Structure 1
């Protein structure tokens, strides 16, 4: 298990763009389960949508990519402070199945399906109370900064 302080060691993101609150399970070189607590205080709800707040789909994908990023960094035994960054370079087959709203706990799951020359591919899912909210194949690239 990793709390937000440890997560911040593996992700360069900070408020308001850090979208992973806790890691509950990590199996190096295989998979990760994390979550994001979605609250009405999220800055994006001011405009998306004022009278019917819904988490933007691109931010759900970003949250899945951040969870995948932690898995990648931990699997490589690297941190951003080591001069490495994990770029989100693609998403395929993204599907949205239910809205994510304030009060939801968004569970983020990523499984490594391939890695070649610093390009990682993950099969990702985001669920709320066991219901699929989003799925996508996400690609990230490990690069020196």
Structure 2
């Protein structure tokens, strides 16, 4: 087989909801991703989120015409980047946290209950304690968002006095 990995022999690079939660500090109702469908450390992560009318964010946004808030989609994108960053380096230690350093985003379509958002998150540059990443989001193969950002890994103690 000339050294190439056959798709049928490649180890699974998928994660269900229970496994992906192990890579996040977030808990209900702040875990937005439902599944990781593929990834390659240091390169990309494909994830998805099924938008439900029962999602906490939908109940008040807006009662007469349910729309999934872009700010919550940003959180799902950030979670994809956090998981990709850890898969590409190492899991966060108990005394570490990830912080979004900057974001540039564009939202092109409204997302509503019943939509399944597919995210493709890619690392653009990787350094010791931060990455730059990009993410495209689609519903039914139509773009709904594009994001570029930075994600920083930091010791909690380095952030100064903790008031939480």
Q: Compute the RMSD of aligned alpha carbons.
A: 1.2
Question: After the TM superposition, which residues 16-95 of structure 1 pair with which residues of structure 2 at under 5 Å, given as runs?
Answer: 16-79=29-92, 81-92=93-104, 94-95=105-106
Higher relative contact order (CA 8 A, sep 6+): 1
Higher strand share: 1
Q: State whether residues 39 and 102 of structure 1, in contact with CA within 8 Å, keep that contact through their aligned partners in structure 2.
A: yes
Task: Give the number of equivalent residue pairs.
Answer: 143
Report the TM-score when normalising by structure 1.
0.93
CA distance in 2, matches of 1:9, 1:85: 14
Which residue is 1:99 aligned to?
110
Larger radius of gyration: 2
- Structure 2 residues without counterparts, runs of 5 or longer: 1-13, 157-164
Partner of 1:63, secondary structure, is: helix
Higher helix share: 1
Q: 1:112 aligns with which of 117, 123, 148?
A: 123
Per the TM alignment, residue 117 of structure 1 is displaced from its structure 2 partner at its CA by 4.0
CA distance in 2, matches of 1:2, 1:111: 17
